[in-house]
Amino acid sequence: MDGGDAGPGALKAQPPPHRRSGRGGRDKGAQIAGTRCCGGGDAMSQEDPSLASVAAAYRRFEPAAYLRNNYAPPRGDLSCPDGVGPWKLRCLAETFATGEVTGRTLIDIGSGPTVYQLLSACAYFEDITMTDFLEVNRQELGRWLRQEPEAFDWSAYSWHACLLEGRGDSWQHREQQLRARVKRVLPIDVHQAQPLGAACLVPLPADALVSTFCLEAVSPDLASFRRALGHITTMLRPRGHLLLIGALEESWYQAGEVRLPVVPMSAMTVREALVHGGYEVRDLRTYTMPAHLRTGVDDVQGIFFAWAQKKAGVEV
């Protein structure tokens, strides 16, 4: 674990001021979105008509609208300890703080246009792969990794992650560390038996997987969700760890003009899918979306966080 470039008192200052993106007038107060888009290339649309419909819908996905819908205030207000953003960061920070989820390689499944899900992880893994189905999301990630002026401003989430961890790291150091440890950004298709393709550039199996708002959002039904879970599980070593964040009891959300379907999931459905997929569920938490955060851009009822460990000898 790397040390920070600031002393323990560095985090007592106010969080960094929100800045505005140079593209599309995006409010930097929006900060970080959950990751909705995954899959990869065009393969998802080749075999199953229902998967083809999902793939076609995602071609109309607008990252800027998604970020604006979900992470501009009120949902993007990190100053409220009971908000959804702090809850997600806290789940991740507390899990990594156990010291059990560690290793050399980590794959982020369906990164979308976001990096918040890796802010705590990058202190524990030196080789990180980010992935997404959509080129527009991979381009967005590239802008942030290259520190281009048009990139989305993640500093408030970086600051908050460091605050939660309490290790004295500065948010600037944490962002530099994450950029250094993301080694590649690749296409992925979770509906293929080899999600990263036959000519995979990633060292496999990985020590850990992270996936946020992905599998339930790109699967037309529960059976597809379970198959996709099985596909990504093949990339994880025995006794490796999977961290999942996703929507509870959501059937649709908007990302620009397109209205995208979601498989409604309960906490029990998530647990059963993980157990069926060969995992031991180490932790499963839920967050109920308060009324003032139900803003009409989706019908989400809550969020789940799951920490699961792949059992030895599992064949998927």
Q: Which residues are annotated as a binding site for S-adenosyl-L-methionine?
A: 66, 71, 110-111, 116, 132, 137, 189-190
- Nearest to residue 299, comparing CAs of 258, 264, 255, 256? 264
* CA 175 to chain CA centroid, nearest Å: 16
Asked whether 283 and 307 are in contact (CB, 8 A), the reply is yes
Residue 316 CA to residue 314 CA, distance in Å, equals: 6
Token code pair at residue 125: 């893994």
* C-alpha span between 280 and 276 (Å, rounded): 10
3-state secondary structure of 2: coil
36 and 213 Cβ atoms separated by less than 8 Å: yes
Which contiguous run of DSSP H or E holds residue 165? Answer: helix 155-165
Q: Please report which residue ranges of 20-127 form alpha helices under DSSP H.
A: 49-58, 63-71, 84-97
DSSP 298: B
What letter would DSSP give residue 158? H
Task: Please calculate the CA angle 223-37-195 and round it to the nearest 5 degrees.
Answer: 60
Pairing status of strand 206-212 against strand 182-187: unpaired
Alpha helices in 189-263 (DSSP H): 222-233
CA distance 72 to 294: 13
Binding site as annotated, residues: 66, 71, 110-111, 116, 132, 137, 189-190
